[in-house]
Structure 1
Amino acid sequence: MRIRATVAAVSGALALAALAVPAAHADEVEGDTTISNVVVNGGKPVVVGATTTKTITVSFTVKDASGVDWAQAILYHGTNIDSSDSGAVATSSNHRATCTVVSATTSNCKSTFEMEPQYNLINSVAGGWKVWAIATGKDADYTQKDNAKSFQVQRYSKLTVNASPEPVKKGRTVTVTGALTRASWDAGKYYGYGTQSVKLQFRKKDSSTYTTLKTIKTDSAGNLKTTTTATVDGYFRYSFAGTSTTSTVNATGDYVDVQ
């Protein structure tokens, strides 16, 4: 599988970093070099669809009294980077971060990474990922962190809703159907997400706020169906809070005219 190529690339990049510092298998500090303010994808979960490659940015601050020499970050899934089962190296030619000097002792560093289904993303690696990072000072001091930052990589989800009949008489029953699906990185398609809790919500015609009416579960195929009573004109939608492996999503509200 193509994912093996990325794991090999991660190992290769790690070996490159190890040329300058001791072997990478735990946090290490030599001198006063520090890494801080690590931000992945603007602080948001990395959500990836079934087929589209997602490019994300990782930024961090490096400080050293002698000035910053270079820095590097690697993304990985696993207990530690040595036992990782997937990962990503920076898209730069040498896999190192681009560092901008802020002062004589401080640099802001940034790298971009590509997360690609059927390459470094398969269904089994959805969930928690980590950032391995290293930075060196101009005096050969360095710091190395096995987990400089944890973040979520999630499968993109979709949610539909349909409320009927339209229009409906006040006091009559409204039937609300829909479906929750999520990306399969293995297959490059979307499949129903079964036995998941989803909220049925409603907002009045002139309101901007949705209120939860009830919570139901999807069936084994990801389908949704429930009923409620028509009271006033407004919009029905389903809302899914997401899981550690799957993104949150709200269906676009379906308007019902109550007569």
Structure 2
Amino acid sequence: MVSAAAVASALYVPATAHANTALPPGGHATAGAAEVRKVARFAGFDAGPEPSWYDGWRRLSGRLVADVDGVAYGLAGVRVFVEFSTNGTDWTRVTSQTTSADGTFDMTTVGTEDGYWRAQYPGNNEYTPAVSGSDYVDVKYRTSIQYYNASPEPVKKGAYITVKGLLYRYMPAGKPGPGANIHIYFRPKGSSTWTKMAITKTATNGWFNKKFKASQDGTWLARYWGSSTYVGSNQPADYVDVR
């Protein structure tokens, strides 16, 4: 039988075997101090133009600031990323730029789809991450009126003037634009006021023409105003002298 003294002897551990956990005189335990980062945010973000052309330039601009003691300062010299999403949920980085001295950025890139744009700052040891609000840009195909002419020039008073041209739609290659409404305007010589004279449709080959009786000198202008799919056209004009 093992005696109680033997058990006590076996369980005895010398004091020197224990780690010294006592604090030094006047000492105290210190937890790791958490660093507080300054709050970064986007004071503005814009994607445009709106609507934009297919395969055209997008301008992406804004300003990144940091709030310090209630005052917003431009956050300079940090990289800002611009992201794109077709559904507002899944984002892809498209381009980036380092902010200027006042925290602004101004980038350009080419776009081909309708969708959302936003700016994103990943943050660092001093500033928190930030994401701007999103800006939706509608993409449309460009249009152009070509070979525009109002003739004959000059024309006798009371005779007829023919206004004609060809509407092109770029989708993305140039193709004639059939069945489109073309608005014809007239501005008399010496006037600053345009008057709508008629609306005519383009034929299947994209051409349009409309006759008007000549009554006074002036400028004839044609314009396609666009649709949900196409951007409005240029506005070619032609002056006709009436004699």
**For the superposition of Structure 1 and Structure 2, which TM-score range results when normalised by the shorter chain?**
0.5 to 0.7
Spell out, residue by residue over 1:231-256, the C-alpha distance to the aligned partner (whole angstroms, 9 max, x if none).
10112121122234333223321222
Q: Which blocks of at least 5 consecutive residues in structure 2 are unaligned?
A: 1-37
Query: How far off is 1:216 after superposition?
Result: 2.2
Query: How far off is 1:74 after superposition?
Result: 2.1
Equivalent pair of 1:157/1:180 in contact (CA under 8 Å):
yes
In 2, Cα distance between the equivalents of 1:110 and 1:244? Answer: 28
> In the alignment, which residue of structure 2 is the partner of 1:246?
230
What is the RMSD computed on CA atoms of the aligned residues? 3.0
> In the alignment, which residue of structure 2 is the partner of 1:110?
106
Query: How far off is 1:97 after superposition?
Result: 2.3
Q: Secondary structure, in 3 states, of the residue corresponding to 1:64?
A: strand
Matched, 1:80 2:88: yes
Max Rg structure: 2
Equivalent pair of 2:88/2:115 in contact (CA under 8 Å):
no
> In the alignment, which residue of structure 1 is the partner of 2:138?
152
Percent of paired sites with the same residue: 23
1:218–1:141 Cα change, 3 Å: same
Query: How far off is 1:81 after superposition?
Result: 5.0
> In the alignment, which residue of structure 1 is the partner of 2:94?
89
1:99–1:255 Cα change, 3 Å: same
The structure with more helix, counted as a fraction of residues: 1
Q: Which blocks of at least 5 consecutive residues in structure 1 are unaligned?
A: 1-30, 91-95, 116-120
In the TM superposition, what are the counterparts of 1:1-259 in structure 2 within 5 Å? 32-41=39-48, 43=49, 45-47=51-53, 54-65=56-67, 68=75, 69-76=78-85, 78-82=86-90, 89-90=94-95, 96-102=96-102, 107-115=103-111, 121=112, 125=113, 128-138=114-124, 139=126, 141-145=128-132, 148-160=134-146, 161-185=148-172, 189-259=173-243
Give the 4+ runs in structure 1 shifted more than 3 A. 43-48, 53-57, 66-70, 136-140
Q: How high is the TM-score relative to the length of structure 1?
A: 0.64
Q: How high is the TM-score relative to the length of structure 2?
A: 0.68
Query: How far off is 1:181 after superposition?
Result: 0.6
Q: Aligned pairs, how many?
A: 198
Residue identity in the other structure for 1:210 = W
